[in-house]
Chain A
């Protein structure tokens, strides 16, 4: 499927997807249930921000990028709750300058609402910070029992191992 250059609204949605997806993949790529597809196109280098996703380890995902890298980074195909997402970021001297959608969930109202309204902060942050790592997870109180299966536990394992 040829990449499309999209209008601002959709690009925002995709940026949201890019960062959220990267974060989720970052954490849970070791879980086969959340990442059924292997990265389809590893076009980017390992130190591009969006591609800084170790495929088999729940690492904290700190990018080793020096910030001066230019090129395109194609993210893996990621299955999110409402479908599959794949994006490509164009990076010029370490900054994201464009994001193209290669694959997106179908554009029903539900997707638009969730993506466009939930994470505007995220979009700005993605562009500014050049990072899609997650440091901590906030959720409805998990107990010590539920913690074992939580995203936070995966982060903690990665940081204390």
Chain B
């Protein structure tokens, strides 16, 4: 039985320009099984980077952007990501899109808003195989957590106006947490309809069962600006925390919960 006093073993690596942090507690935290699961998780993230990075000339996405590869001819993973993107675009009335207007007026594929959550969710599969072990895998502040043995992980939510502080703490037993905002960066956080960055909302945090959708919904809600909380509150299976530009906050609960 894992207890609150059981030590948490932590690891950090940098992949895709992001710090990848892992917290483990329970049976396998520092043994070869834990090492292998961590290596597999990192390998999955590097694989996603090779395919989807807009910064790598040799990525599938870069080939599409240059017009050298048709979307239809892309690999299955690309279509999976684009399918998530299409569903998000529909759900937001177009505010969320992976086809973003560039400075020259044309649209270019930038799946960053989908890929990170999707890739970390996939990487976490390697950790789910560690029996008797709780984990929390974070990529630059978005994470997949499982606490089946011990108490819920306690996730601090950054204050967007001062990332050295927390604005809330949420217990997460088996769920994903994603936060979108402009505290650190946010080039893809624009309303795809206008190419503009919403001004009234400072940060959106979403808790959901999958990081793919937590991340997408956080980005989408942020892109919706003033309608962020209203929209998020209608999404089934999501809990949200919207921090407005003036520092006030709104929490949302999905309609399927009491």
Q: Using a CB–CB distance below 8 Å, which chain A residues touch chain B? A: 19-20, 23-24, 27-28, 31, 33-34, 60, 62-64, 80-81, 110, 113-114, 117-122, 125, 129, 131-144, 146-147, 149-153, 155-156, 158-160
Contact = CB atoms under 8 A, between A and B. Distances in A.
Nearest to A144: B14
B184 A137 contact: no
Interface of B: 4-12, 14, 17-19, 21, 23, 116, 136, 138, 140-143, 145, 151-171, 177-186, 203, 205, 241, 246-251
Contacts of A144: 14, 17-19
Given A136-B23, A146-B184, A141 B169 contact: no
Given A113-B248, A121-B169, 15 more contacts: A114-B167, A117-B250, A122-B170, A135-B23, A135-B154, A136-B155, A139-B141, A139-B163, A140-B158, A140-B183, A140-B186, A143-B18, A147-B140, A149-B164, A160-B9
A119 B4 contact: no
Nearest to A21: B166
Main SS of the interface on chain B?
Answer: strand
Contacts of A34: 164-165
A141 B184 CA distance: 6
A136 B167 CA distance: 14
14 contacts: A33-B164, A34-B165, A62-B7, A117-B250, A118-B241, A129-B151, A135-B8, A138-B177, A139-B160, A139-B183, A141-B142, A141-B180, A155-B10, A159-B23
A122 B170 CA distance: 6
